[in-house]
Amino acid sequence: MANLILRDLVKTFDRTEVLHGIDLEVADGEFVVFVGPSGCGKSTTLRLIAGLEEVTSGTIEIAGRVVNNLEPKDRDIAMVFQNYAIYPHMTVRKNIGFGLRSSKAPRAEKEKRIEEVATILGMSDLLSRKPSQLSGGQRQRVAIGRAMVRDPAVFLFDEPLSNLDAQLRTQMRLEIKKLHQRVGSTIVFVTHDQVEAMTMADRIVIMKDGYIQQVGTPAEVYHKPANTFVARFIGAPSMNMIPGAVNGGGTLALETGGTLAFDRPLPEGRKVTLGVRPEDLGPGHDNPVIEGKVTVREPLGHETLIYVGTASGEVIAKADGRTPPEVGETVRLGALTENMHVFDAETGEALA
Amino acid sequence: MAVAEDIRPTSETLLKVRAPRRPANMGQFIRWALLFAGGIAMVMPIAYMISTSLKWPHEVYNLKLIPDEPTIDNYTYVLEDGRFYWWFVNSIIIAVITTVSNVLFDSLVGYTLCKFRFPGRYIVFIAILSTLMIPTEMLVIPWYLMSQQFGWLDTYWGIMFPGLMTAFGTFLMKQFFETVPDDFIEAARIDGLNELQIWWTVAMPLVKPALAALAIFVFLGNWTAFIWPLIVTNSVEMYTLPVGLSSFGDEADVAWELIMTGAAISTLPTLVVFLIFQRFIIRGVVMAGLKG
């Protein structure tokens, strides 16, 4: 078993509390991605798990034992850093084998393990090279290899793809996912890129200002965001937010005019925010929501994103790729009620 | 069918597009002249040292660069004089030990101040730096009294102890360790290395240029040190080369030809050190922004 449990985890730097009681259970073999904007506490949480920072209060449990007071090396974890942290003065072989230095295994066994890892990562012919002779993707693989060679209970990844170009990032994303399927270890992955989170995670942990906003599968956080922050953070372009209020009879009156009938119960008289994803909002829909003039078109081939200036600001919608509305044209945008999200205007919490 | 025009450059067109050679302007001329003068100023003392070492005593005060009657008798005399070997060995021992000591301890303290967070870290660093403000002349008396109390007068330890660690070296190494990313240290920590192993295996190889620069500075500083070895040593056998060389001659006369001969020989180890560390020192000095 290599599950990971965080209980009421608090971290304070000087007198500033940056994590305010994180509770999370990561199952054995699960791929969990922490995502959030800069300063949300995701990297701090990872560093606490790694033992690189001291826990102020709360407990961290790895594979059934509390590791708060254990040194990083004794926690049975391995970490891949944003800047790879592979040593420039050592060859790939030495870099990968570095994680085994403290191991008491016989030398032949260590060598065998290095070869195995190099084979898995497709780096067998690069073992005698120095990092300066490798590409960005290869360096990243060495960093992953160094983590793999120790066969840890939990892998920790701290924004490992941030320094790669877009194409390589997509490739490495896939490789890490395949690797996870192959080795089946527990992985905690930190990123600020919601696409990375969506494509790789079994479950996503969305953080903001040291609090967990929502934990769920990619589908859950996308289709059922817990609040406006999650709704805006997950999905690109961001969800459109249109202010309104709940009328009697459960109908929703938008500030821009128009009333929407909901089949879900809504608290009467409450000020709310209606959230609709751009991909769910489009012209020529049976259930119109808002009207405005097209200001910009972004053709993507199979579809075109249109930016529409409305009475409550600019909204983004999806139009047909072949016959999109012209710039300056007035369009009525609509969406299915089931694709609409209603949030409390004050707290931002999801209502329906 | 139209024939494509040959647009390949010919030698004529190439000549036309080549940038005209700029005539050397006055500023450039002055720069060259200054550099030339600087070069002469650097080389002349060495040339005179070698020239004097090849002269007879009566010719020493003749400023001619080429001796009238060149001789290698001075070299024979100095090398046959047993004292010279003592001084040479003393200097080698002292310079090597202090260099190794500085490389190890300055980098250890520099690393600690740079990579560990502990209360009073800044105060310790400032305290170390502040010792740079105190001139050696002021420290000589307390050093002497200390050596006297501990019985270190006229010993290797007495000569070496003030220079086994330096504030300058600590400062230099701390600044260089700043360039080692914390990720490297933390990765090694996770990989199971203890702090001393991390310093030695991970951090030290990454600051080799600085270590080479520090080694050169310390070696040269100790090789040419004069005042403190002169004060702390009494017996001729404990002299270092600079102190020993100055003792050539007597109260009435200074044997410049012998001093210059000894000096010429004593530059050899520094040349060897330079040749070994040259590629590091240039990089190290450039990186440290130091004067040579």
Name the band, by pLDDT with cuts 50, 70 and 90, for residue A312.
confident
The predicted model gives A236-246 an average pLDDT of: 93
Least confident of A127-131, A204-208, A331-335, B286-290: B286-290
Cα B274–chain centre separation: 8
Please check the confidence at residue B36 and state whether its pLDDT lies above 70: yes
Please check the confidence at residue A183 and state whether its pLDDT lies above 90: no
The shortest CB-CB distance from A87 to any of B189, B192, B202 is to: B202
Q: Tell me, what's the pLDDT at B233?
A: 94
Q: Tell me, what's the pLDDT at B21?
A: 61
Tell me the nearest-neighbour CA distance from A159 into chain B, angstroms: 13
Q: Give B-chain residues touching A79 at CB under 8 angstroms.
A: 186-187, 190
Specify burial of residue A238 (Cβ count, 10 A radius: 0-12, 13-18, 19+). middle
Helices (H), A156-315: 166-183, 194-200, 218-223, 228-233
Specify burial of residue A191 (Cβ count, 10 A radius: 0-12, 13-18, 19+). buried
Size of interface A-B (CB pairs under 8 A): 53
Nearest-by-CA chain B residue for A74:
B192
Q: Give A-chain residues touching B187 at CB under 8 angstroms.
A: 79, 81, 85, 146
* Tokens 């990968």 belong to residue: A96
Q: Tell me, what's the pLDDT at A25?
A: 96
Q: Tell me, what's the pLDDT at B2?
A: 42
Q: Is B206 on the interface with A (CB under 8 A)?
A: yes
Q: Give A-chain residues touching B206 at CB under 8 angstroms.
A: 87-89
Please check the confidence at residue B13 and state whether its pLDDT lies above 60: no
Name the band, by pLDDT with cuts 50, 70 and 90, for residue B60.
confident
Nearest-by-CA chain B residue for A86:
B184
Structural tokens at position B11: 């030698």
- Domain boundaries along the sequence of chain B: 82-250+266-288
The predicted model gives A255-281 an average pLDDT of: 88
Residue range A77-117, pLDDT digits in tens: 999 998 888 898 899 999 999 888 777 788 898 899 999 98
Q: Which residue has the higher pLDDT, B2 or A183?
A: A183
Axis-axis angle for helices B256-288, B82-115 (nearest 10): 20
* Sheet of strand A16-26: strand arrangement: A16-26, A4-13, A57-62, A65-66
Q: Do B183 and A85 touch (CB under 8 A)?
A: yes
The shortest CB-CB distance from B183 to any of A71, A81, A150 is to: A81
Tell me the nearest-neighbour CA distance from B186 into chain A, angstroms: 7
Residue range B73-123, pLDDT digits in tens: 889 888 888 888 889 999 999 999 999 999 999 999 999 999 998 999 999
Domains and CATH numbers, chain A: 4-232 (3.40.50.300), 238-344 (2.40.50.140)
Q: Which residue has the higher pLDDT, B154 or B287?
A: B154
What value of ipTM does the predicted structure carry?
0.81
Q: Give B-chain residues touching A81 at CB under 8 angstroms.
A: 183, 186-187
Q: Tell me, what's the pLDDT at B291?
A: 36
**Interface residues from chain A to B (CB-CB < 8 Å):** 50-52, 71-73, 77-79, 81-85, 87-89, 98-99, 101-103, 146, 150
SS3 at position A153: coil
Please check the confidence at residue A37 and state whether its pLDDT lies above 90: yes
Q: Give B-chain residues touching A163 at CB under 8 angstroms.
A: none
Helices (H), A3-150: 42-50, 92-97, 107-120, 136-148
Please check the confidence at residue A322 and state whether its pLDDT lies above 70: yes
Least confident of A120-129, A258-267, B101-110: A258-267
Q: Give A-chain residues touching B192 at CB under 8 angstroms.
A: 73, 99, 101-103
Axis-axis angle for helices B256-288, B73-80 (nearest 10): 80
The predicted model gives A314-337 an average pLDDT of: 92
Q: Tell me, what's the pLDDT at A255?
A: 86
Q: Give A-chain residues touching B202 at CB under 8 angstroms.
A: 87
State how far the Cα of A5 lies from the Cα of A32, in Å rounded to an integer: 12
Name the band, by pLDDT with cuts 50, 70 and 90, for residue A61.
very high
Specify burial of residue A262 (Cβ count, 10 A radius: 0-12, 13-18, 19+). middle
* Tokens 């100790």 belong to residue: B222
Q: Give A-chain residues touching B184 at CB under 8 angstroms.
A: 85, 87
- What is the dihedral sign for C-alpha B18, B19, B24, B28? negative
Element (H, E) at A155: strand A154-158
- Alpha-carbon separation of residue A259 from A20, A269, A339, B92 (angstroms): 40, 14, 16, 94
Sequence-distant (≥ 6) Cβ neighbours of residue A93 within 8 angstroms: A114, A118, A127, A128
For residue A191, list its beta bridge partners: A35
B82-250+266-288: CATH topology is MetI-like fold (1.10.3720)
Tell me the nearest-neighbour CA distance from B119 into chain A, angstroms: 13
Residue range B229-283, pLDDT digits in tens: 999 999 999 999 999 888 876 666 778 888 899 889 888 888 888 787 777 766 6
Q: Tell me, what's the pLDDT at B250?
A: 63
Q: Tell me, what's the pLDDT at A184?
A: 87
Q: Is B280 on the interface with A (CB under 8 A)?
A: no
Q: Is B63 on the interface with A (CB under 8 A)?
A: no
- What is the dihedral sign for C-alpha A47, A49, A51, A54? positive
The shortest CB-CB distance from A79 to any of B190, B202, B206 is to: B190
Percent of chain A residues past pLDDT 90, beyond the cut? 61
- CB-side exposure of B40: number of CA atoms within 13 Å? 6
The shortest CB-CB distance from A77 to any of B190, B193, B205 is to: B190
Q: Tell me, what's the pLDDT at A248?
A: 77
Q: Do A98 and B188 touch (CB under 8 A)?
A: yes
Task: Please calculate the CA angle B169-B173-B179 and round it to the nearest 5 degrees.
Answer: 160
Q: Tell me, what's the pLDDT at B284?
A: 53
Identify the residue among B182, B191, B211 best suited for mutation to test binding to A, counting A beta carbons within 10 A and taking the highest. Answer: B191
Tell me the nearest-neighbour CA distance from A72 into chain B, angstroms: 5
Q: Do B206 and A88 touch (CB under 8 A)?
A: yes
Q: Tell me, what's the pLDDT at B292?
A: 34
Structural tokens at position B168: 């300058």
Sequence-distant (≥ 6) Cβ neighbours of residue A174 within 8 angstroms: none
Specify burial of residue B82 (Cβ count, 10 A radius: 0-12, 13-18, 19+). exposed
Residue range B151-205, pLDDT digits in tens: 999 999 999 999 999 999 999 999 999 999 999 999 999 988 899 999 999 999 9
State how far the Cα of A275 lies from the Cα of A252, in Å rounded to an integer: 12
Check: CB of residue A39 under 8 Å from CB of residue A190: no
Name the band, by pLDDT with cuts 50, 70 and 90, for residue B4.
very low
State how far the Cα of A16 lies from the Cα of B271, in Å rounded to an integer: 56
Q: Which residue has the higher pLDDT, A39 or B276?
A: A39
Percent of chain A residues past pLDDT 70, beyond the cut? 99
State how far the Cα of B72 lies from the Cα of A70, in Å rounded to an integer: 71
Tell me the nearest-neighbour CA distance from B183 into chain A, angstroms: 6
